[in-house]
Amino acid sequence: MVHQTLAPGPPDLTSVDWPAPPPRVVPSEALPPQPVLPKVKVLHVITRFWAGAGGNTLLSAVGMDTARYEVWVAGMPGGDLWDRARASGVRTVEIPGYRHTLTPADLLVLWRLVRLIRRERFTVVHTHSAKGGFLGRTAARLCRTPVVVHTFHGLSFHTRMSPGRRAMYRALERATRRFTHRFLAVAPRVAQEVVEQRLAPPGTVHVVPSAVDLGRIPLDFDPAARLALGVPAATALVGTVGRIDTQKAPLDFVRMAALVRAARPDTTFVMLGDGPLAPDVRRLATELGVEVALTGHRADAAELVAGLDVFVITSLYEGLGRALTEALAAARPVVATSVNGVPDLVEPGATGLLAPAADPAGLARGVLWMLDHPEEAAAMGRQGRERVRAAFAPQAMCAAIDDCYRGLLGLPLAAGRGPERSSPCD
């Protein structure tokens, strides 16, 4: 079977040339009743509506112009973002039977998605994550949805999977690429990997930085956050944020902590988060004789990270890392594993330090260097903050997504985003 690739088309002249509306002569309330114009209906399909990709999707949904878009989110039940989405006016559908792993019940989930899309007649289906991307794009294809967009928050397969499982996930991603009109990626290296793995044709992947809620993140070190973590101001505090699972390699954090503690006994360690490997973390910390505080899930983790002296990511794979972006936004010195899109944010000597994945000793060397060079570490943190706050605001991400939708629908760009500004869909 020959798969048709979707090459970038010529610039949409209508989007460039259509004149902006003039100011109102008469306020709306003084006019006779006017018809309500239809909105563009958008359905986001995601597997797990929580954590990094979920937070990104929530900001994408709530940040769109409500005068133009009616936004829905559908996905797996569970997580704290559903209530936040509903409170913000987003329509939500928690699909019964939807699970994170592939199961025969996915045929029922697909049928429910098809029924939803046919009933609501969405103009745009925007999918996220591997399984959400496969089910959502397949359902959109069956329903002949006019516009289908997929965001890569990271790759669904990696070298630490079994070869069979890796091949299956790669095949699922490739099977739906021809159902997709435009691909977005959260970081340049993620976009490159997507093309190299033939998950999208060359020229169809556009980078849209994954935004974070910058308004609730402190601009610098926050003594109140340190106090909330129960650590004295004079004690060096090294920490991480994230789900305590295999992807995040939390045992490597413990091994790193033991090495740092051996060189600097005055250092304290904290892990903000919870997950299935939490008991293993406690067990290994006891064996290695290092105390690592586990706070469990904290809704205020993005604020508490401002109390750290060094923020560490030990992930084995990571599209970009929402916690990483939030730590940099708070000007925290960062030491991270050099996986996937992480080096797009953490540039050695400029915005942090890197170490290979599964290398606790390399991470420990980076942490010790940061603690031994506080002025240089602080300067890297400040540069990381400026970089993130300039490019990762929700308004910038939503403007780019709005441009993408408009470009695919042949609509003019929003005022102030004319031909001099490149659209993600040009």
CB-based contacts of 277-280 (< 8 A; 24+ apart in sequence): 277/244, 277/245, 277/246, 277/250, 277/251, 278/244, 278/250, 280/250, 280/251
Rg of the chain over Cα atoms, rounded to whole angstroms, equals 23
Tell me which of 21 and 384 has the higher pLDDT: 384
The DSSP annotation for 216-283 comes to: GS-SS--HHHHHHTT--TTSEEEEEES--SGGG-HHHHHHHHHHHHHH-TTEEEEEEB--TTHHHHHH
pTM: 0.87
Amino acid at 200: A
User: How many CB atoms within 10 Å of residue 11?
Assistant: 14
Q: Order of strands across the sheet with 236-241?
A: 292-294, 267-272, 236-241, 310-313, 334-337, 353-355
**Residue with tokens 């869909």, as numbered in its chain:** 425
How confident is the model over 107-133, as pLDDT tens digits? Answer: 999 999 999 999 999 999 999 988 999
Q: Residue 423: what pLDDT?
A: 47
How many residues are given for the chain?
Answer: 426
User: How many CB atoms within 10 Å of residue 147?
Assistant: 21
Mean pLDDT, the chain, rounded, equals 90
Structure tokens that stand for 78 in this block = 């569970």
Please tell me the distance from the alpha carbon of residue 177 to that of residue 189, in angstroms, as a whole number.
19
Please tell me the distance from the alpha carbon of residue 59 to that of residue 63, in angstroms, as a whole number.
6
The mean per-residue pLDDT over the stretch 10-19 comes to: 55
Q: Residue 419: what pLDDT?
A: 46
Going by pLDDT thresholds of 50, 70 and 90, the confidence category of residue 2 is: very low
- The torsion angle over the Cα atoms of residues 293, 379, 346 and 239, rounded to 10 degrees, is 0
Check whether 162 has a pLDDT greater than 80: no
The mean per-residue pLDDT over the stretch 173-182 comes to: 93
Check whether 422 has a pLDDT greater than 60: no
How confident is the model over 345-364, as pLDDT tens digits? Answer: 999 999 999 999 999 999 99
